[in-house]
Chain A
């Protein structure tokens, strides 16, 4: 038993002092090296803008040894099947312009570093965009092809491919300049207590990480590992699909994947992980 408050008064003091900032951070201390060569920063000092957290941890630290092991070698990582599928799409001509991704970008490796800085302010669009939006932008504007569904398998596989070539690079999304107002909107959403259970992202992932909520070991809800292959639904999952699930679990009306709210939330949550390595496609339960 972790908590045994013997005295009502002692308990009231703890409450008054604010339980909010004390989390039992039992992230494990394992090290993640992928394929014996890509060092992943899974624990590091929190970015300056984080007020209530000193150290940031990849969700990898909160998973069992068995789940962690899947990610150490690409042959064992079921998320790499999606990456392979996306590699085919990368080279596949589609749409009225007779182009594939490769026609403009060459090898997928040319995307190294991209995942680390997204979501990012897009001058032309005048708004913060996500990687998935950029992929669809290329498809509709440059290839003359149909959009892919925002959280669909084809899109999520492609985002996984683009992530995979940035693995090991530290996440470094910009939160100032033209991105600042979006970032602030995301921060507000992060702390908003939604639904009949009145829980915010922060309640679970800032105040309570390291603790069990029923059978789940709460992580910091970082997205450096996205897209993430979940053993639970045996597919790659996008960050917005995960956000939707977490909001739904507060008995709330969710936002839609691809909505302005989730774009802002993605920017904000990504910024909480500035300094952790890009890790996607990761494996979680």
Chain B
């Protein structure tokens, strides 16, 4: 545990609190809507990704159904069901869709989870008050990787 913590600290740029290998939202490169490289420089954790589908800033099932998560009540129907998403899309495409779905699907209702610029009347989370400057992205780089790792397991 301790060793892990120390090595993590060594590879992190402490001044910004962002790991050295992390690609900041404004630097993400999209190719046909896909993003080839890990945003955090690390592999994703599918189990952690599964939790984000239900909770917090992810809350993907507000809009998407996932049969294998049918123990979670109230799955939304705004977007397509994500069953088989791991067959339909490559890992790079999934990363692009989660980071900024508006590149792959122009005008989509799906929020951009790893974008920090270009908002209109940006609020401070759900307070209804203005947010000065740019916000934190909805998901961190590692959370995006976790979600992508989870989505690749959705095969039929």
Tell me if A253 and B80 are in contact (CB < 8 A): no
A107 at the binding interface (Cβ < 8 Å): no
Return chain B residues, CB-CB under 8 Å to A247: 121, 128
A6 to B126 Cα, complex, angstroms:
36
Return chain B residues, CB-CB under 8 Å to A11: 80, 88
The A interface, classified by DSSP as helix, strand, loop or mixed, is loop
Tell me if A4 and B80 are in contact (CB < 8 A): yes
Tell me if A253 and B83 are in contact (CB < 8 A): no
Tell me if B81 and A251 are in contact (CB < 8 A): no
The A-contacting residues of B in range 89-135, CB under 8 angstroms, are 89, 105-109, 111-112, 119-131, 135
Return chain A residues, CB-CB under 8 Å to B84: 4, 6
Mark the stretch among B13-21, B36-44, B58-66, B147-155 that contacts chain A: B58-66
A45 to B59 Cα, complex, angstroms:
35
Return chain A residues, CB-CB under 8 Å to B126: 248-249, 251
A270 to B111 Cα, complex, angstroms:
28
If A196-B135, A213-B63 touch, whether A252 touches B80 (CB-CB below 8 Å) is no
Mark the stretch among B2-10, B23-31, B71-79 that contacts chain A: B71-79
B11 at the binding interface (Cβ < 8 Å): no
Return chain B residues, CB-CB under 8 Å to A49: none
A233 at the binding interface (Cβ < 8 Å): no
Tell me if B78 and A211 are in contact (CB < 8 A): yes
A116 to B35 Cα, complex, angstroms:
53
If A1-B83, A4-B81, A203-B109 touch, whether A194 touches B120 (CB-CB below 8 Å) is yes
- By a beta-carbon cutoff of 8 Å, the part of chain A in contact with chain B is 1-8, 11, 15, 20, 24, 192-199, 203, 207-208, 211-215, 244, 247-254
Please name the 6 residue pairs, one residue from A and one from B, whose CB atoms are nearest each other, closest first: A215-B74, A248-B128, A253-B130, A3-B80, A214-B62, A254-B128
